[in-house]
């Protein structure tokens, strides 16, 4: 018996460590999408705090989050995800900020046969042509954005300004198709793509104005942009001279704050803190205000949503067995600050509502920016299934 005691003691730490549940959170914490990454991490940690009542455990097992910065670089994203699966032995991974990096990570999840929850990257290919069965997405996709916007364009002429990379091109393609799927009679007259870090929009705007100015009314210029938004610069060129109305996509609060002079302008958005009415969002808004002196933002809500999906999956399965987790997550319903979502079984896309907003004329404080025109339910967003199972 004495000879067995040292062995028992030697195994005890290993057994204890095996009980930990590990999650990797990969985000572009440096580079142009750093604000998105920072919000995602904040929301993710707040979500786990709420869901575990501050204990950071699931069914008595300690929950450990390993945060990694892929700098929004595809090569770095691939490397870090492989490291999370291979070296860190995570049960599940979440990421990332850039659609380009997220797409590069998808084959790594398949190679290691481990689940990747995509948040907040939106490119349709993630749950479409590039998808594999290990991929689940809590983020909305470009088509959901497009369908929401298309529901507000009933007729007239539309042109797009977007960034010249995966997100921008994917979003415009989705917007075009969304107009068809929603039965809109609006005609797309031009697509304009500018460099991701562009600061001068003079030439781009003039081309857009030239295409729109003689087109049937109403004339709408939709701006689809990640990072510092060019709407103010486009507005300075006075598109109203040509009867052109700007239609911004949703953006983070620091950007929305710069749009106060556009009272009455309408658009669609993934999340705005004042729109959802539920217990989880009430806690989220109040706690975020207490800690950070401002309300939660789009990507903070996305991080919380990803945390809820991860928590629900691990609570149901205990992690470990990937096939059991996939079976549990297909069709899985989970609570979020936007209300209940579920993963569509066919392509693992989270089905969710969107919001039609109007920029407020009378704003009571620096964050009182938008009023709700209408919540657009998931049932009105017929997202096509494009993956190959």
**Rounded distance between C-alpha atoms, residue 210 and residue 366, angstroms:** 36
Q: Do domains 4-140+278-351 and 143-269+354-380 have the same CATH topology?
A: yes
β-strand 21-27 against 61-69: which pairing, if any?
parallel
**Rounded distance between C-alpha atoms, residue 26 and residue 211, angstroms:** 41
Highest mean pLDDT among 76-85, 151-160, 247-256: 76-85
Read off the pLDDT band of 39 (50, 70, 90): very high
Superfamily of domain covering 143-269+354-380: Response regulator (3.40.50.2300)
- Averaged pLDDT, 27-52: 96
Residue 201: pLDDT over 80: yes
Read off the pLDDT band of 261 (50, 70, 90): confident
Residue 346: pLDDT over 90: yes
- Averaged pLDDT, 105-114: 98
Q: What is the pLDDT of residue 249?
A: 80
Share above pLDDT 70 across residues of the chain, in percent, rounded to a whole number: 95
- Averaged pLDDT, 334-345: 98
Residue 5: pLDDT over 70: no
**Rounded distance between C-alpha atoms, residue 372 and residue 277, angstroms:** 12
pTM: 0.88
Read off the pLDDT band of 15 (50, 70, 90): very low
Domain edges within the chain? 4-140+278-351, 143-269+354-380
CB contact at 8 A, 271 and 302: yes
The CATH number of domain 4-140+278-351 is 1.10.1200.10: no
- Averaged pLDDT, 299-308: 98
Q: What is the pLDDT of residue 191?
A: 97
Read off the pLDDT band of 49 (50, 70, 90): very high
**Rounded distance between C-alpha atoms, residue 97 and residue 72, angstroms:** 7
**Rounded distance between C-alpha atoms, residue 109 and residue 133, angstroms:** 9
């Amino acid at each position: 018996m004495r000879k067995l005691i040292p062995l028992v003691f030697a195994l005890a730490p290993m057994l204890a460590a095996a009980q930990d549940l590990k999650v990797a959170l990969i985000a572009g914490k440096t580079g142009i999408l750093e604000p998105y990454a920072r919000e995602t991490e904040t929301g993710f940690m707040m979500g786990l705090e709420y869901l575990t009542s501050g204990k950071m455990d699931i069914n008595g097992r300690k929950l450990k989050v390993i945060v990694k910065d892929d700098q929004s670089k595809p090569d770095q994203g691939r490397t870090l995800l492989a490291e999370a699966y291979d070296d860190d032995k995570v049960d599940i991974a979440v990421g990332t900020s850039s659609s380009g990096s997220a797409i590069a990570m998808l084959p790594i999840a398949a190679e290691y046969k481990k689940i990747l929850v995509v948040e907040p990257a939106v490119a349709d290919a993630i749950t479409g042509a590039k998808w594999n069965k290990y991929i689940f997405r809590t983020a909305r996709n470009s088509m959901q954005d497009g369908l929401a916007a298309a529901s507000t364009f009933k007729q007239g002429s539309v042109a797009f300004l977007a960034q010249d990379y995966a997100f921008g091109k994917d979003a415009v393609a989705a917007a075009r198709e969304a107009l068809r799927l929603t039965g809109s009679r609006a005609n797309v007259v031009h697509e304009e793509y500018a460099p991701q870090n562009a600061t001068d929009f003079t030439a781009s705007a003039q081309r857009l104005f030239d295409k729109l100015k003689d087109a049937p009314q109403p004339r709408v210029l939709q701006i689809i942009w990640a990072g510092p938004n060019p709407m103010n610069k486009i507005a300075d060129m006075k598109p109203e001279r040509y009867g052109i109305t700007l239609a911004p996509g949703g953006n983070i609060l620091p950007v929305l704050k710069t749009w106060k002079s556009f009272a009455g302008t309408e658009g669609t958005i993934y999340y705005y803190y004042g729109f959802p009415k539920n217990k989880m969002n009430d806690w989220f808004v109040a706690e975020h205000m207490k800690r950070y002196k401002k309300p939660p933002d789009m990507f903070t809500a996305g991080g919380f949503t990803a945390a809820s999906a991860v928590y629900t999956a691990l609570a149901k399965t205990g992690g470990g067995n990937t096939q059991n987790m996939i079976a549990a997550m297909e069709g899985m319903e989970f609570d979020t600050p936007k209300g209940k979502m579920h993963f569509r079984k066919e392509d693992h896309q989270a089905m969710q509502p969107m919001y039609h907003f109007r920029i407020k004329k009378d704003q009571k404080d620096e964050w009182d920016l938008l009023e709700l025109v209408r919540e657009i339910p998931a049932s009105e967003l017929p997202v096509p299934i494009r993956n190959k199972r």
